[in-house]
């Protein structure tokens, strides 16, 4: 029997396994239940005891040799070149690895918050699903007042049919929440998403982003508002850009204004972006209405404050010279991948 084992050992060592089929045939011949090695073990049981020690050792070695041969063939087999005999070209460039980039709205939102946090404004956030009080009531929009129509609202129907909840139409709702929960001095900005029931076009969307600003303390004046916004514009668009204020109306501020900047595209000479006026509107602002302070339990005889709110998309469109607002929401990679270098 030892002779037989020796010749099988030689055979195993010399056999070549080049592909999966060879490997399977090898396994069937030597290592399967009906294979050579199993039958040798059967035969081993019939040997007289004095022969068992050396034959058993040889038989174990034979089994190990077969298993090792098969395992080695499998490791090599995992490399395609061993089976298909194709060579891997190590000089080929690696698979392209594309880095993502921030969304332009995130980039601009971050720039805006950085500019304000540098001068002491603290970021605060609030819910996108709001109640009437925080979005309208506390901000001095009386019930049924036409000013509510300034912002087309998505109301959320409640069981009784009376809308209790809505998607916030502006981030001014966050200033109410901050004033309700903090004591002056308050200096905060609130970036966030807002919703309006508007027809989608190149200049309007049913969702967009705003940054709201609020500063309340003793003796805060319109001059502080002007200087703060002037600083913002200089940081965002450069010192050459001019600003101007036009009287306006918001229920929550008195006096109210809208602020324009000199057109950054034509530098005031007149172009389609500024509709040949040389000016582009970027925000609404004003001195916080005493009713709003009182609604939030802040003493309007002692404190005054300013507030402003602006659209992030509007700023991003000017900054990156983008003509169509819809691009921000379509997630077209050809558009988004252009902001890689900005980060």
Residue among 175 and 262 whose Cβ is closer to ligand DAH? 175
Torsion sign across C-alpha atoms 233, 235, 237, 241: positive
Dihedral of the alpha carbons of 132, 136, 138, 143, in degrees to the nearest 10: -80
| Rounded least distance, CB 264 to ligand DAH, Å | 21
Structure tokens at 137: 């009531």
Residue among 250 and 279 whose Cβ is closer to ligand DAH? 250
| Rounded least distance, CB 338 to ligand DAH, Å | 29
| Rounded least distance, CB 308 to ligand DAH, Å | 5
Structure tokens at 54: 């050396």
Residue among 192 and 284 whose Cβ is closer to ligand DAH? 284
Residue among 181 and 338 whose Cβ is closer to ligand DAH? 181
| Rounded least distance, CB 160 to ligand DAH, Å | 29
| Rounded least distance, CB 164 to ligand DAH, Å | 21
- Please give the Cα distance from 112 to 118 (Å, whole number): 10
| 193 sits in which H/E element | strand 186-195
Instruction: Answer for the pair 181, 220: CB distance below 8 angstroms, yes or no.
Output: no
| Rounded least distance, CB 333 to ligand DAH, Å | 31
Residue among 163 and 255 whose Cβ is closer to ligand DAH? 255
DSSP E strands in 74-162: the ranges are 122-123, 129-131, 155-156
CA atoms in the 13 A half-sphere facing the CB of 276:
0
Query: At a CB cut-off of 8 Å and minimum separation 6, what does 316 contact?
Result: 104, 105, 107, 108, 322, 328
| Rounded least distance, CB 198 to ligand DAH, Å | 12
Strand 165-167 to 155-156 pairing: antiparallel
- Please give the Cα distance from 134 to 140 (Å, whole number): 10
Residue among 170 and 187 whose Cβ is closer to ligand DAH? 170
What proportions of the chain, in percent to the nearest 5, are helix, strand and coil?
Answer: 45, 20, 40
Residues making contact with ligand DAH (CB under 6 A): 170, 172, 212, 250, 253, 284-286, 307-309
Q: How buried is 55 (Cβ within 10 angstroms: 0-12 exposed, 13-18 middle, 19+ buried)?
A: middle
Residue among 63 and 289 whose Cβ is closer to ligand DAH? 289
| 38 sits in which H/E element | helix 36-45
Residue among 17 and 287 whose Cβ is closer to ligand DAH? 287
| Rounded least distance, CB 152 to ligand DAH, Å | 12
């Amino acid at each position: 029997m030892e002779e037989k084992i020796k010749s099988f050992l030689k055979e195993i060592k010399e056999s070549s396994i080049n592909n999966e089929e060879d490997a399977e045939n090898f396994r069937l011949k030597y290592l399967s239940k009906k294979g050579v090695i199993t039958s040798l073990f059967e035969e081993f049981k019939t040997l007289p005891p004095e022969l068992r020690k050396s034959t058993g050792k040889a038989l174990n070695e034979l089994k190990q040799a077969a298993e090792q041969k098969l395992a080695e063939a499998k490791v090599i087999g995992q490399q395609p070149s061993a089976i298909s005999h194709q060579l891997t070209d190590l000089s080929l460039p690696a698979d392209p690895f594309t880095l993502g980039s921030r969304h332009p709205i995130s980039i601009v939102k971050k720039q805006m918050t950085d500019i304000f946090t540098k001068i002491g404004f603290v970021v605060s956030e609030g819910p996108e699903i709001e109640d009437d009080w925080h979005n309208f009531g506390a901000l001095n929009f009386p019930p049924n007042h036409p000013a509510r129509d300034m912002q087309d609202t998505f109301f959320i129907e409640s069981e009784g049919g009376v809308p209790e909840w809505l998607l916030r139409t502006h981030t001014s709702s966050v200033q109410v929440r901050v004033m309700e929960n903090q004591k002056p001095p308050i200096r905060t900005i609130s970036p966030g998403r807002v919703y309006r029931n508007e027809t989608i076009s190149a200049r309007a969307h049913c969702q967009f982003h705003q940054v709201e600003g609020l500063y309340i303390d003793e003796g805060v004046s319109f001059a502080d508002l002007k200087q703060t916004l002037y600083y913002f514009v200089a940081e965002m668009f450069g010192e050459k850009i001019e600003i101007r204020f036009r009287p306006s109306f918001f229920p929550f501020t008195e006096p109210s204004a809208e602020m324009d900047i000199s057109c950054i595209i034509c530098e005031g000479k007149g172009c389609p972006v500024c509709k040949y006026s040389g000016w582009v509107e970027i925000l609404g602002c004003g001195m916080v209405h005493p009713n709003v302070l009182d609604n939030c339990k802040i003493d309007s005889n002692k404190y005054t404050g300013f507030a402003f709110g602006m659209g992030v998309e509007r700023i991003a469109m000017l900054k990156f010279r983008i003509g169509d607002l819809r691009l921000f929401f379509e997630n077209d990679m050809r558009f988004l991948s252009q902001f890689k270098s900005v980060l």
